[in-house]
Amino acid sequence: MPKIVTDSDRLQKRRIILDAAAAEIARYGYDRANINTIAERAGIGRGTIYLYYTNKEDVLLSLLNSIGSMIDEIVCKCINSDQSWPQKIRDLALAFAQMALDHNDFFRVHISALHGVNRDIGQPVAFWLMKSFHRLTAALVQAIQEGEIFLYDPQTLAWIILGTLESMALLPNILNLSESLTQERANSLATFIWQGIAPSAKNNMVLG
Amino acid sequence: MPKIVTDSDRLQKRRIILDAAAAEIARYGYDRANINTIAERAGIGRGTIYLYYTNKEDVLLSLLNSIGSMIDEIVCKCINSDQSWPQKIRDLALAFAQMALDHNDFFRVHISALHGVNRDIGQPVAFWLMKSFHRLTAALVQAIQEGEIFLYDPQTLAWIILGTLESMALLPNILNLSESLTQERANSLATFIWQGIAPSAKNNMVLG
Amino acid sequence: MPKIVTDSDRLQKRRIILDAAAAEIARYGYDRANINTIAERAGIGRGTIYLYYTNKEDVLLSLLNSIGSMIDEIVCKCINSDQSWPQKIRDLALAFAQMALDHNDFFRVHISALHGVNRDIGQPVAFWLMKSFHRLTAALVQAIQEGEIFLYDPQTLAWIILGTLESMALLPNILNLSESLTQERANSLATFIWQGIAPSAKNNMVLG
Amino acid sequence: MPKIVTDSDRLQKRRIILDAAAAEIARYGYDRANINTIAERAGIGRGTIYLYYTNKEDVLLSLLNSIGSMIDEIVCKCINSDQSWPQKIRDLALAFAQMALDHNDFFRVHISALHGVNRDIGQPVAFWLMKSFHRLTAALVQAIQEGEIFLYDPQTLAWIILGTLESMALLPNILNLSESLTQERANSLATFIWQGIAPSAKNNMVLG
DNA sequence: AATGAATGAGCTTTCATTCAT
DNA sequence: AATGAATGAAAGCTCATTCAT
């Protein structure tokens, strides 16, 4: 009489494995992360991982898709809200900062894959990033048309915004800063971004 | 009589090895970069690398110090010039973008080490980053005091500036954008940053 | 269900590896013995050895402990028997000679480690040798006090006895002598030793 | 104008290299002894060694021939003297002990090669050992015939004598004993041997 | 379904030897 | 004659993956 494994059981175990993998990879990097240790952390046998994922890379890709979609969802939600643009940007900054705290391991793996050099591994990161990027670009195009924000090349602007959001979220990891000021930093960043794109800006004339 | 090898010869060969290593590591990452392949690329024997570097990690650290000091030198030079602040920022953005093009392999290794998870390897990156960070922070503190730029927490500001500079420099690599627009993007970024910190900014009051 | 591996299975496989290692090391020496070849000889994969021993040195140390304890056991058993001293010595000589035949590979590794120069590797050899040495010395002290054997410095005497036992056991290996005369040579040695320590010269008649 | 190198210069430099090699090999064993370090110790360039010896093994073989012939000379000289047999044996023991002190590095290499497992390397050791062995055996055959010593199988006896001599000489190295008692131990050994082979037990009184 | 013992490809590093100078 | 920079074969060890149980 075989054990009955529902889809829900399966998803749950995939999740457990993913969490364990995120913890390992966030500490040692993909190449040095040890399948054996991941299995131990997940409380299962080494071979069992291969019943849920085809191989090590599959685990990583799944992990990157997970965090990638999570980020895209945040971007989507904040951008499409009924708030004003200054508020949208503040919401984005806060949501990013919070996500970097709540899912720190996933986020670190995401960042290292994003800036790492391996093209294969970078693929799902690029996929989701593009999705968020286009989503944001489209919203900016409309906002610029409606005069809500200063005229820029929307693509460059979208990139700058996403880039600064990630930089800010990374700050505590690299500089070992206290996490307690996360909210304040998010506010500062939102202020900074908004100043850079607010319609009233004329100061840029200074530059060629 | 033995073959005479001058210090200059030695430095030259170290440079050749470093270039080959940068090319490999920029393509495959540190862990997957193969000493054998690096030697082939450098046109020397496998063992020869160990006459110039103590081990694989030593090659990487040397490489990271090389690019780290190069970046710091750029920051130093741009910040301490006699230009106005808007111009300083534009110089920075252009110099960064240019460096990312001229030393693309080194820069990519630098970025992946910066955002990677390996603490040992990240050490020289952090060292140089801190140097540039403090350099920039000090300059900002003075500029704020003299009313040249809008009041901010200088550290957060320094981080935002460095972060956006690197994000911008990375753009072509991640989005496969044309390199021909590098200058324009650098200008856009400089404009954006300057708007965010110009003394005339009052729009930030909009945000809580 | 996982394959069940009992402690007995584990010990058995350790033994198989040890035998293969002894055969290799006895032929080529520790430094030249090849893990790959040892694995082949043991009929297992290269990596499997590392499931049973932490590294190459661990294999050797285990091997040396095995033969060291075996020798000590022989010394202990022969010395503490109820036999007369001439008989004890004859038993020792015969047991040594037999052991050198039965466990020739182990014994050769033991001897080469004993007389080799590597201190780390010599450590377990020295440990067991000291144990046998003190055991024998203590027995000789008592025998001398009871007038059973001629007055000597017991330590020197113990060393001479152990030394001649090992020399004799080595004889076939070095001189390529026939093994068929092993028993006779052991008898000769026992006679020789006994003459050297008997309280009077007549006792040598006791031995065959 | 080429430098003129006389045969004497050549021999002298060969000797210097041999001394350096003996020091290294006595510390680390043949396999781990480093040609580079030997060259440094000898105060010459790495490549120079290959002008005097064809390869590493050649250095070792030459070294073993050197100590092997030295030992054989001692045996020859002591055995063929006009002394009585008790005195001959005492002379042998003392000369061995002294040689082990004066040429400690050479002797240790000799011993480790003798008891080591490598047949190729053991070859010159075996050659000289055989020579001494046959020399001693022949002398014993005659002594037995002339009734000067107790009736034994001369080969076994020769081996026992050589074996105990080497055991004794090794004692300080293995047990870390003081070298100051070397003479006394040599005397003890001579006494022991003589008792074992004297025609009657009273003869041991002859020795101090 | 679950396990972990077994495997072997692939890696870094060492070092005896060569050879241009 | 003398040197030491350069070489590459060879070795120990790790770890993702397989598969018998």
Contact C119, C208 (CB under 8 A): no
State pLDDT tens for residues A168-196. Answer: 877 766 666 677 777 888 888 888 888 77
φ, ψ (nearest 5 deg) of residue C89: -70, -40
**A window 151-180, beta carbon within 8 A of B:** 152-153, 156-157, 159-160, 162-164, 166-168, 170-171, 174-175
Identify the pLDDT of residue D68: 96
Which residue out of A85, A111, A149, A203 would a mutagenesis test of the B interface target, given it has the greatest number of B Cβ atoms within 10 Å? A203
Instruction: Say how far apart CA A143 and CA A137 lie, in whole Å.
Output: 10
Instruction: Say how far apart CA D158 and CA D179 lie, in whole Å.
Output: 26
Protein residue at shortest CA distance from C1' of F7: B45
At C66, which amino acid appears? S
Find how far residue C123's CA is from the centre of its chain.
15
Most confident listed range (A156-165, B53-62, D191-200): B53-62
DSSP E strands, C15-107? none
Q: Which two tokens stand for residue C1?
A: 């269900």
> In the 8-state DSSP scheme, what is residue A34?
-
Contacts of C154 (CB under 8 A, 6+ apart): C137, C140, C141, C144
Q: What's the CA–C1' distance between D140 and F5, in Å?
A: 58
Give the mean pLDDT of chain D. Answer: 86
At A37, which amino acid appears? T
Residue D40, phi-psi category: left (phi > 0), alpha (psi -120 to 50), beta (remainder)? alpha
Q: Which residue of chain C is at minimal alpha-carbon distance from D163? A: C167
Residue C5's CB is within 10 A of a number of other CB atoms, namely: 9
With contacts defined as CB-CB under 8 Å, which chain C residues touch D196?
192-193, 195-196
User: Would the pLDDT of B102 be above 60?
Assistant: yes
Residue where the block lists tokens 């990452």: B29
Percent of chain A having pLDDT more than 90?
Answer: 55
Q: Which two tokens stand for residue B82?
A: 């006699």
Contact C181, C126 (CB under 8 A): no
Identify the pLDDT of residue D1: 47
Identify the pLDDT of residue B4: 74
The reply to whether residue C26 touches residue D117, judged by beta carbons under 8 angstroms, is yes
Q: Which residue of chain D is at minimal alpha-carbon distance from C154? A: D188
Least confident among A95-99, D2-6, D181-185: D2-6
Instruction: Say how far apart CA B145 and CA B158 lie, in whole Å.
Output: 15
What are the C-alpha distances in Å from C122 to residues A1, B168, D172? 58, 62, 15
Residue D50: CB less than 7 A from any atom in strand E: yes
Identify the pLDDT of residue B138: 95
State pLDDT tens for residues B130-156. Answer: 999 999 999 999 998 888 887 667 887
Residue B55: CB less than 7 A from any atom in strand E: yes
Nearest nucleotide over every DNA/RNA strand to the B37 CA, judged by C1'? E11
* Dihedral sign (CA D113, D117, D121, D122): positive
Residue where the block lists tokens 């460096």: B99
Nearest nucleotide over every DNA/RNA strand to the B57 CA, judged by C1'? E12
The reply to whether residue C164 touches residue D160, judged by beta carbons under 8 angstroms, is yes
Contacts of D113 (CB under 8 A, 6+ apart): D30, D60, D64, D121, D122, D125
Residue D147, phi-psi category: left (phi > 0), alpha (psi -120 to 50), beta (remainder)? left
At A39, which amino acid appears? A
* Dihedral sign (CA D52, D54, D55, D60): negative
- Per 3-state DSSP, chain A is made up of helix, strand and coil in percentages (nearest 5) of 80, 0, 20
Instruction: Say how far apart CA A89 and CA A74 lie, in whole Å.
Output: 12
The reply to whether residue B86 touches residue A188, judged by beta carbons under 8 angstroms, is no
The reply to whether residue B203 touches residue A203, judged by beta carbons under 8 angstroms, is no
Greatest Cα pair distance in chain D: 72
Q: At what angle do helices B182-197 and B85-102 cross, to 10 degrees?
A: 150
Contacts of B81 (CB under 8 A, 6+ apart): B87, B88, B91
Give the mean pLDDT of chain C. Answer: 87
Tens-level pLDDT at each residue, chain C (208 residues) = 566 778 888 999 999 999 999 999 999 999 999 999 999 999 999 999 999 999 999 999 999 999 999 999 999 999 999 999 989 999 999 999 899 989 999 999 999 998 888 877 888 998 999 999 999 999 999 998 888 887 667 887 888 888 888 888 777 677 666 777 778 888 888 888 887 776 654 333 333 3
The reply to whether residue D31 touches residue C28, judged by beta carbons under 8 angstroms, is no
At D2, which amino acid appears? P
With contacts defined as CB-CB under 8 Å, which chain C residues touch D202?
201
φ, ψ (nearest 5 deg) of residue A189: -65, -45
Q: Which two tokens stand for residue C156?
A: 């020197």
Residue B64: CB less than 7 A from any atom in strand E: no
At D167, which amino acid appears? S
Instruction: Say how far apart CA B152 and CA B140 lie, in whole Å.
Output: 9
3-state secondary structure of C75: helix
3-state secondary structure of C198: coil
Q: Which two tokens stand for residue A74?
A: 């945040």
User: Is chain C adjacent to chain B, meaning 3+ CB pairs within 8 angstroms?
Assistant: no
Q: Report which of residues 40-59 in chain A place their beta carbon less than 7 angstroms from any atom of strand F.
A: 46-47, 50, 55-57
How many C×D Cβ pairs under 8 Å?
Answer: 124
Partner residue opposite A207 with nearest CB, options B129, B191, B208 = B191
Residue D35: CB less than 7 A from any atom in strand F: no
Q: What are the structural domains of chain C? A: 1-53 (1.10.10.60), 56-206 (1.10.357.10)
Report which secondary-structure segment, H or E, holds A73: helix A56-79
**How would you label B120-153 residue by residue, b for 16+ Cβ within 10 Å and e otherwise?**
ebbebbbebbebbbebbbebbeebbeeebbbebb
HSE-CB of C73 using CA atoms within 13 angstroms: 7
State pLDDT tens for residues D48-102. Answer: 999 999 999 999 999 999 999 999 999 999 999 999 998 999 999 999 989 988 9
**How many Å from the N-terminal Cα to the C-terminal Cα in chain D?**
63
Identify the pLDDT of residue C184: 82
Which residue out of A129, A191, A202, A205 would a mutagenesis test of the B interface target, given it has the greatest number of B Cβ atoms within 10 Å? A191
Instruction: Say how far apart CA D102 and CA D124 lie, in whole Å.
Output: 21
Q: Which two tokens stand for residue C88?
A: 């004890």
Report which secondary-structure segment, H or E, holds C172: helix C154-175
Find how far residue A182's CA is from the centre of its chain.
16
Residue B96's CB is within 10 A of a number of other CB atoms, namely: 24
Residue A118: CB less than 7 A from any atom in strand F: no
Instruction: Say how far apart CA A139 and CA A154 lie, in whole Å.
Output: 9
Instruction: Say how far apart CA C192 and CA C183 lie, in whole Å.
Output: 14
HSE-CB of B8 using CA atoms within 13 angstroms: 0
Residue where the block lists tokens 């991640």: B174
With contacts defined as CB-CB under 8 Å, which chain D residues touch C193?
196
Residue D206: CB less than 7 A from any atom in strand E: no
- Distance from the Cα of D155 to chain C's closest Cα (Å) equals 10
Q: Report which of residues 34-63 in chain C place their beta carbon less than 7 angstroms from any atom of strand E.
A: 44-48, 50-52
Residue A8: CB less than 7 A from any atom in strand E: no
How many A×B Cβ pairs under 8 Å?
Answer: 161
Q: Which two tokens stand for residue D39?
A: 């060259």
State pLDDT tens for residues A79-120. Answer: 999 999 989 999 999 999 899 889 999 999 999 998 888 877
**B window 90-149, beta carbon within 8 A of A:** 90, 108-109, 111-112, 114-118, 126, 129
Question: Strand E positions with any atom < 7 Å from protein CB?
Answer: 1-21
At C39, which amino acid appears? A
